[in-house]
């Protein structure tokens, strides 16, 4: 579990650096909360379907959720940053 959360943090940090969002940006808290809610729903759905729940899959799913939230809020996220 610890490795999974570490990987989530690493991928999130990389994404934010690539799109130029500071770790001190006040919008980050609400974005993370929304991404977490979406992630929890998707995790439950994948588990129910017997989908892959490896550490890397879980971390990538969280970052995908964060990208969706950022995009919904008007932040441009290039394909290269995903």
Domain boundaries, the chain: 2-81
11-29 tens-digit pLDDT: 999 999 999 999 999 999 9
- Section 39-54 average pLDDT: 84
Other beta carbons within 10 angstroms of residue 66's beta carbon come to 25
Torsion of CA 8, 14, 16, 19, to 10 degrees: -140
Rounded to two decimals, the pTM is 0.88
Which pLDDT does position 52 carry in this prediction?
Answer: 64
């Amino acid at each position: 579990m610890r490795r999974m959360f570490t990987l989530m943090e690493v991928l999130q940090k990389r994404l934010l650096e690539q799109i130029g969002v500071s770790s001190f940006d006040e919008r980050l808290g609400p974005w993370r909360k929304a991404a977490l809610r979406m992630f929890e729903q998707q995790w439950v759905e994948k588990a129910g379907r017997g989908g892959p729940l490896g550490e890397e899959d879980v971390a990538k799913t969280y970052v995908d959720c964060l990208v969706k939230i950022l995009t919904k809020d008007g932040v441009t996220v290039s394909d290269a940053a995903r």
